[in-house]
Amino acid sequence: MIVGVLKEIKAQENRVCMTPAGVEVMKQHGHEVLVEASAGIGSGFSDADYAAAGARIVAAPAEVYAQSDMVMHVKEPQPSEYAMVKPGQIVFTYFHFAAEEKLTREFMKTGSVAIAYETVTGPHGGLPLLTPMSEVAGRMAAQEAAKYNERVHGGRGILLGGVTGVAPATVLVLGGGIVGTNAAMMAAGLGAKVYILDMNLDRLRYLSEIMPKNCTPLMSSPAMIRELAAQADAIIGAVLVVGAKAPKLITREMFKGMKPGCVLVDVAIDQGGCFETSKATTHSDPIYEVDGIIHYCVANMPGAVPITSTMALTNATLPYALQIADKGWKAACKENAGLKNGLNMVGDKITFKGVAEAFGLPF
Ligand code: NAD
């Protein structure tokens, strides 16, 4: 198969969908890889790195689309690309169709086969192509909480880990899933006193087994959140209720009982946010203040660390890309039910229930 690696053109997106190491493996499997010039620059890979791994560098996205059987991206193709997509061409990337009606309807017109990273499921369930980005965002959340607690950034001026003879900061993590677990681990690793709350007893049991002594997993309830929010120097929001907007667990009213300068990091902002006062921010203007409480609500946190994010994402996507390239999408989806769950669109037919339901389209 000829596999095309496109350069990301969405604003502030520096990741790339395949590393030179991935190109080498594709080549070993007998595939040809076309890489759009400067596709890897934002992630630290030069065209020469890709060429050395066996890729053919092409100047423009139109050439990648015209010559490839399968094209790969990180983010959804942008409007300037729709006309370049060929009927029958496999497009493998994050699409998030259900959130974007225009993208869905425009893509149906391309006649392509759209396989979405975000709906591929793993052999034991879960969303293996979303997990790495949750890990990145969770770990970053602890870093951002530490940074914005510094006085120069408007914070309380407290070091997360404290020092000898001085108490550490208290960090409250709401949600003990992938994001929350990674955030709590990092905050605990820095020496903070950490509480992690979840509503799922099995998850709390697991967290109790794996977390270090300075991290306490507790059952989430409004009373528990109120009590711990009053003690917190930083609160990390990492809840997810599948198929619903995030619940507002911290209200503006509660700010009155909280420490001035407390930092709220709302990782769940892409699902509407779990603090009443959250609104999405960007890396170029990440924080704002409400009643003395600092809010960090960047919707694409992994974009700040493209080198790590690219490696983490491509570690997860490459095995699926290889299956598609080796067998063709039909046979690959027949053999791997999890990959089949990634199939969102074949020609003008929607093949993923959630997308069809979102826009009243036939399924
Ligand atoms: P996950 O499903 O692994 O974990 C969510 C957890 O929240 C679950 O364990 C669930 O039991 C718990 N939960 C639900 N309601 C709760 C409540 N009231 N109190 C306490 N816990 C509750 O999800 P995840 O992968 O950790 O993702 C969390 C959120 O982070 C999602 O909204 C995801 O989209 C978002 N995210 C954002 C970014 C970003 O850049 N901002 C990046 C990655 C993920």
Band (331; pLDDT cuts 50, 70, 90): very high
Q: Which of 106-120, 238-252, 316-330 has the lowest mean pLDDT?
A: 238-252
Q: Are strands 293-296 and 287-290 parallel, antiparallel or unpaired?
A: antiparallel
Query: What's the pLDDT at 295?
Result: 98
Assess whether 299 and 317 both reside in one domain: no
Going by alpha carbons, the residue nearest to atom 28 of ligand 1 is 238
**20 and 105 housed in the same domain:** yes
Give this complex's ipTM: 0.98
* Same domain as 300, residue 310: no
Q: Are residues 142 and 76 in the same domain?
A: no
pLDDT tens-digit series, residues 186-224: 999 999 999 999 999 999 999 999 999 999 999 999 999
Question: Ligand 1 pocket: which residues have CB below 6 Å?
Answer: 133-134, 137, 174-180, 197-200, 203, 220, 238-241, 246-247, 249, 267-271, 299-302
- Using alpha carbons only, give the angle 287, 15, 88 rounded to the nearest 5 degrees: 125
Q: pLDDT averaged over the chain?
A: 96
Same domain, 211 and 340: no
Quick one: average pLDDT of 18-22? 98
Whether 296 is in a domain gets the answer: yes
326 neighbors 335 (Cβ within 8 angstroms): no
Nearest ligand 1 atom to the CA of 225 is 19
- Compute the distance from residue 84 Cα to the ligand 1 centre, in Å: 36
> Are 55 and 20 within 8 A, CB to CB?
yes
In total, the chain counts a number of residues equal to 363
Ramachandran angles phi, psi of 27, nearest 5°: -65, -40
- Gap from CA of 358 to ligand 1 centroid (Å): 21
Same domain (yes/no): 287, 219: yes
CA 249 to CA 226: how far, in whole Å?
A: 9
Q: Is 96 part of the annotated catalytic residue set?
A: yes
To the query of whether residue 198 is one of the catalytic residues in this protein, the response is no
For residue range 33-57, what is the model confidence (pLDDT) as tens digits? 999 999 999 999 999 999 999 999 9
Q: Which of 31, 73, 270, 295 is catalytic?
A: 270
Does any domain span residue 344? yes
Domain range for 107 is 2-120+306-359
Co-location of 158 and 289 in the same domain = yes
Res 2 pLDDT > 90: yes
Q: What is the pLDDT at residue 255?
A: 98
Residue 186 within any structural domain of the chain: yes
Is position 216 within any domain? yes
Q: Which of 168, 153, 238, 233 is nearest to 196 (CA)?
A: 238
Report helix angle 306-327 to 20-28, nearest 10: 10
For residues 179 and 54, state if they share a domain: no
Ligand 1 atom at minimum distance from 178 CA = 26
Residue 242, pLDDT above cutoff 90: no
Q: Residue 243: what pLDDT? A: 67
CATH number of the CATH domain containing 326 = 3.40.50.720
Query: Which pLDDT value is given to residue 7?
Result: 98
Residue 264 pairs in a beta bridge with 235, 295
How far is the C-alpha of 144 from the C-alpha of 236, rounded, in Å?
10
